[in-house]
Amino acid sequence: MKKFYYFSKPKLKFVEIRNFYKKFVFLVLFFSILVSFFLFGSFLVFNEFINPDSEVKSLKRSNALLQVKFQKLLDRYKTLDEKVNLISSQSHDLRLKANLEPKESADELYGIGGSVFEPIESFNSSDINSFLRDLDAYVSKVSLKIKLEENNYSEISNTLIENEKLYDAIPAIRPCEGRIADDFGMRFHPILKITRMHNGIDLIADVGTKVYAPGAGVIDFSGWRGGYGLTLEIDHGFGYRTLYSHLEKINVKLGQKVKRGDVVALTGNSGRLSTGPHLHYEVRHNGIALDPMNFIYDDVKIFEVVKR
């Protein structure tokens, strides 16, 4: 390897330069970096001098694009809000049809409103922060409205299902053909010769007249019951029960499910308190006797129900 020397005046002789190549590479790199910084700094100074507004223009372009994106986002949420409001209006009508109490809208509860829809005039730092806070609050409120409507529709759906079951089960037709002889209420009993409550109605019918279930339910009692004679009871659910007495024959079994219009028995004259062939019919709700006439809709004919 070639050696390099320098002349030392104090020593008056040539001295070998140790690690010459390492020192040479270091000096080259040092001066290269120094020159690079100088050139880059000169370029920045020269560019700023030639085009002093370049950074401002770049920021303005970015702000303009950002403003367009924010406005598009705001328009999308505005459209979503309008759709949610339409759904809320429709759900209000559905709640009334489902026999549910109306609910206050999210707008009424939380005052969701329109300042956030005002056009964006400028995009300085304070305006951006203010706009983002308003937009975040608005998005949260729209999300809340959607959640409220989801819960609302879930409640409506469940209620409609229950209502459908109730409408199928509730007594709604005359249990048999025949003329009403005794109404619901206080009366003088023709056999006992006392005035007492008559908890149902009596339908005059020939022995063997078909008795129909006035609503869906389950046969809860079938057999003899003192002065009532051969008796049948149907549990319709929702607290409703119906009773049929003085029967000639029962056509169903205990625990059997029936639907409106099914033949469940035949009228007769059984029981010691029967004054002749007829059907004694009662309707009770949570154990309280109700007037069966309130559960007989004459515009619904028995044969129309049976045909279905």
Nearest to 107 by CA among 72, 151, 138, 61: 138
Predicted confidence at residue 203, as pLDDT, reads: 93
More confident residue, 161 or 194: 161
d(CA 233, CA 224): 11
Write down the mean pLDDT value for the chain.
Answer: 76
pTM exceeds 0.85: no
Give ∠ CA 62-63-68 in degrees, rounded to 5: 100
179-307: CATH, from 3.40.50.720, 2.40.430.10, 2.70.70.10, 3.20.20.370: 2.70.70.10
Confidence band for 257, pLDDT divided at 50, 70 and 90: very high
d(CA 38, CA 200): 110
| Residue ranges covered by each domain of the chain | 5-50, 54-169, 179-307
242: part of which helix (H) or strand (E)?
strand 240-245
Confidence band for 239, pLDDT divided at 50, 70 and 90: very high
Mean local confidence (pLDDT), 112-116: 49
d(CA 232, CA 254): 9
125: part of which helix (H) or strand (E)?
helix 125-169
Please determine, for residue 218, whether its predicted confidence score (pLDDT) is greater than 80: yes
Residues 165, 104: contact at Cβ < 8 Å? no
Residues 274, 239: contact at Cβ < 8 Å? no
